[in-house]
Chain A
Amino acid sequence: MTTRNAVPATSYTLQKRRRRDGLRTVAFLSPWLVGAGLFFGYPLAATVYFSFMKYDGFTPPTWNGLDNWTYVFTDYPFFWPAMRNTLWLVVVMVTARVVFGLGIGLLITKVKLGAGWFRTAFYLPYLAPPVAATLAFVFLLNPGTGPVNHLVGSVGLPQPGWFNDPAWSKPALTLLALWGVGDLMVIFMASLLDVPKEQYEAAELDHAGPWQRFRFITLPNISPIVLFAVVTGVIQTMQYYTQPLVAAKVASGVIGRPGQSFEPGYPEKSTLTLPHLVYNLGFQRFDTGSACVVALVLFGLAMAFTAVLMRRGSGFLSAEER
């Protein structure tokens, strides 16, 4: 870490000072240096190693080349459904959340009366613990007895099976995700308030309508934040674990009975996500090697989108790094 630039031999004190600065830097960074090595570097290397091993977690691992990789991509029945679900969630759920978050952000900047109350009401669901929020939604959307279907039915609309119907389980999860849109609302609200007022005034003089003002002034000004919201949304989708798992467990009604192991994805693999597969393979099927293959696929996807964020996400890193 010490800087070893061409230091003139005469400036002995300068050299000494640099060494001291280097030690100081290492000292300040030390918790993280140890942590990143122990809880990131080492396990990542071990994951790569295990992905080429036949290993059940108990008997010593043996080399089996690409067998785990071909198993996951061709024979493991959960992999492609999980990939398709992830794609669905990226296309529908992320888009819906960004559009809705922007809409709510716009709305809250326009509200004059009771703005504080509205902001609190819009933000609060984001903080609801995921397990609690999911339980609440499984209850609300319960096809037989839930209040939502009572309401929907009383106005004569069809009553979907929500978390119990493979065609409706992901839309139900999307509703849950829209309910917790508070984080995006706050980010959009802050960026909308940063748009220079003069630009709107100039547009008004040019008789620009509301849509034109939004299209030619608001949107260009906040586009970095929209990009940020989309990319972080995609990355969050790669980590989407708790809500679909809890929803599947509770809706199927099989949780917690002793000795019964729940395979994720109910109904009909429609709520499977990639992180579920790591758990399913590694901790339920005891196929550690294949679990590591899925983990590496997940790693590749997450890192690809993180790279996009770091390159294009202007505003994500401060001006200093760019």
Chain B
Amino acid sequence: MTSLLTATSSPAVDTRPAEAAPRRRGGARLEWIAVHSLAIAAALFFVLPFVFVFFTALMSDQQALTRDLWPRPWQWDNLSTVWHSPGFLTWWKNSIMYAVLGTALTLVSSIPVAYALARFRFRGRNLALMVVISTMMLPPQVVIVPMYLFWARQLGLSGTLWPLIIPMAFGDAFTIFLLRQFLLTIPKEYVDAAKVDGCGDVKALVRVVLPMARPAIAATALFQFFYCWNDYFGPQIYASDNPGAWTLSYGLESFKSLHQTNWNLTMAATLLVMAPVIVIFFFAQKAFIEGVTLTGVKG
């Protein structure tokens, strides 16, 4: 990737049309060079940490402590050592379960709420919206003490991930807000037309609105999936005393203590936790960028 980026710095490929007047041509070229050099410097800052992690993950444990940057020899075994180390596969499964179930439940419960907040006129709608935004902005630690007592003492569910998954069947504020923002942009006429054709509200939502909202739904699904995948606080509160219920994000940290000075294995594990996120990103880049833009929204 680096070589690809460096290739772009060559000013010889400036094929800009004559829009730049002869007098300013030198200035424009200088700006072009400055912009692309800066971009390369920035790219190094963003990419090098990944490169270091990748190389270190494939070193021997002694070499990981040296100044070397290039693995010699390449220990691809590190990845399988990590993969087969105790707990890792279980944490992987738990992460998938948490993320997939959590995302599905969130979408099913949040879509109708977002639709109602975007389309229906009713008293208290603005108040409802304000409560949604407030809960979205609330640090999870604010209500954790009573929530823990509720799930652990009343329902005996500590040591599992259910206290994190079940609430997602009751709507997620961030998802509701984001979907609502998008649904507002769908012209009302589409729903009205469907109703003239005899569709009820549910049918109009499922048949007409949802297909049009697919990009927003994809974006919120990705965000929710990543939220679950990355969650550290939740598993720490509810599952810390049962390693069988840990997720990758939570287990990864204990991995470091297991392999005290083995930075190579720790970085290999880090790589394996990052990998799914990176793979998903490359497949769904567009949905992501649109989703992030949606959060900042419509200036």
* Interface residues of A, dominant DSSP: helix
Given A35-B167, A135-B270, A255-B254, CB of A47 within 8 Å of CB of B122: no
**Bound Cα distance A306, B136 (Å):** 10
Residue-wise, chain B 23-35 has the 8 Å CB interface mask toward A (1 for contact) of 0000000011001
A136 at the binding interface (Cβ < 8 Å): yes
Determine which of A179, A224, A257 lies in contact with B49 in the assembled complex, contact meaning CB atoms within 8 Å: A179
**Bound Cα distance A253, B260 (Å):** 8
B84 at the binding interface (Cβ < 8 Å): no
Whole-angstrom distance from the CB of B184 to the nearest CB of chain A? 6
Contact A107 B260 (CB under 8 A): no
A71 at the binding interface (Cβ < 8 Å): no
Determine which of A34, A46, A121, A282 lies in contact with B43 in the assembled complex, contact meaning CB atoms within 8 Å: A121
**Bound Cα distance A254, B141 (Å):** 24
Determine which of B38, B117, B252, B263 lies in contact with A145 in the assembled complex, contact meaning CB atoms within 8 Å: B263
Residues of chain B contacted by A128 (CB below 8 angstroms): 274, 277
**Bound Cα distance A182, B141 (Å):** 26
A316 at the binding interface (Cβ < 8 Å): yes
Contact A279 B141 (CB under 8 A): yes
Residues of chain A contacted by B42 (CB below 8 angstroms): 104, 107, 118, 122
Whole-angstrom distance from the CB of B256 to the nearest CB of chain A? 5
B162 at the binding interface (Cβ < 8 Å): no
B8 at the binding interface (Cβ < 8 Å): yes
- Residue of A at shortest CB range from B205? A28
Which residues of chain A from 125 to 169 have any CB-CB distance to chain B below 8 Å in the complex?
125, 127-133, 135-137, 139-140, 142, 145, 147, 150
A38 at the binding interface (Cβ < 8 Å): yes
Residues of chain B contacted by A57 (CB below 8 angstroms): 149
Binds A, one of B73-81, B190-198, B207-215, B230-238: B230-238
Contact B135 A310 (CB under 8 A): no
Number of residues on chain A facing chain B (CB within 8 A): 108
Contact A302 B139 (CB under 8 A): yes
The number of chain B residues touching the other chain, given as a range, is 35 or more
A124 at the binding interface (Cβ < 8 Å): yes
A215 at the binding interface (Cβ < 8 Å): no
Residues of chain A contacted by B117 (CB below 8 angstroms): 29
14 pairs across A/B with beta carbons < 8 Å? Answer: A22-B122, A24-B201, A25-B116, A36-B171, A38-B167, A39-B167, A111-B35, A117-B43, A128-B274, A135-B252, A136-B270, A147-B52, A186-B289, A306-B133
Q: Which 5 A-B pairs have the closest CB atoms?
A: A35-B170, A256-B257, A187-B296, A43-B143, A46-B146
Which A residues fall within an 8 A CB radius of B? 1, 3, 21-22, 24-25, 27-29, 31-32, 34-36, 38-40, 42-44, 46-47, 50, 57, 104, 107-108, 110-114, 117-118, 120-125, 127-133, 135-137, 139-140, 142, 145, 147, 150, 179, 182-183, 186-187, 190-191, 194, 222, 224-225, 228-229, 235, 238-239, 241-242, 245-246, 249-250, 253, 255-257, 274-275, 278-279, 282-283, 288, 291-292, 295-296, 298-299, 302-303, 305-306, 309-310, 314-318, 320-321
